[in-house]
Structure 1
């Protein structure tokens, strides 16, 4: 889905989610959707912020709790965590996980492949 701002300009897919997560990370604690909106673009509708927060909640990237008539939002994942959630969702949607992972690894630049191998070795050593 391509997001469009109120001036008709296209946003990169997920760019608004990243901006919302960044705002939440700067908050230092739970905040309202109104607080998030104030830190983003002035032309952004409150309902747009709520939609993005709801999407992030569905992705387990944020948490919310009721306080009075409002909800307070907190990040559960940073930008890297959100990217990892997206990658996992794509992988979960494929029937042949092995083929997808094998294809992914073979298309990585050499430095990234070495980093991934090191991370896997480190994670294996934790068990």
Structure 2
């Protein structure tokens, strides 16, 4: 697995390439922050300061997010307007759940995941589990 550069979120092996799911998260954040349904062009305009991305790429990502159920859309003239169903954290959590569901040996996957956590994340997980059990 390649490392990411913390300053940009880009893959260290290929500085021009985003991490998997990064653009999806950015688009969900734009939609969540907007608080209203946006067209792909409006999403692209709001992404512009953070990402150099084409209109067609935004449409592709929005279509994928719609297929996953992460955004809803409604027709507005010739275009669609999109609104977030979940925030970026919810999208990542859904992705993690899908990955876990795809494995038959869930125990091994979870063991390796927890084993790879840094001390701070491990403490957060312990607290979350303790809260859930209470």
- 8 Å contact kept, 2:26–2:88: no
Task: State the distance in 2 between where 1:120 and 1:59 align.
Answer: 27
**Which of 22, 29, 35 does residue 28 from structure 1 map onto?**
35
Q: How does 1:33-112 map to 2 (within 5 A)?
A: 33-41=40-48, 44-112=53-121
In the TM superposition, residue 104 of structure 1 has moved relative to its aligned partner by 1.3
Q: Please, which runs of 5 or more residues in structure 1 have no aligned partner?
A: 1-8
Count of residues paired in the alignment: 119
TM-score relative to the length of structure 2: 0.73
- 8 Å contact kept, 2:75–2:81: yes
- 8 Å contact kept, 1:59–1:85: no
**What secondary structure sits across from 1:13 in the alignment?**
coil
- RMSD between aligned alpha carbons? 2.4
Q: Please, which runs of 5 or more residues in structure 2 have no aligned partner?
A: 1-15
Match of 2:7 in 1: none
Match of 2:8 in 1: none
Task: State the distance in 2 between where 1:114 and 1:89 align.
Answer: 24
- 8 Å contact kept, 1:63–1:73: yes
Task: Give deviations 1:56-97, integer Å, cap 9, x for gaps.
Answer: 223332222234433221112222112212211211111111
Distance 1:124 1:71, change over 3 A: farther
Task: State the distance in 2 between where 1:43 and 1:29 align.
Answer: 23
TM-score relative to the length of structure 1: 0.77
Task: State the distance in 1 between where 2:83 and 2:132 align.
Answer: 27
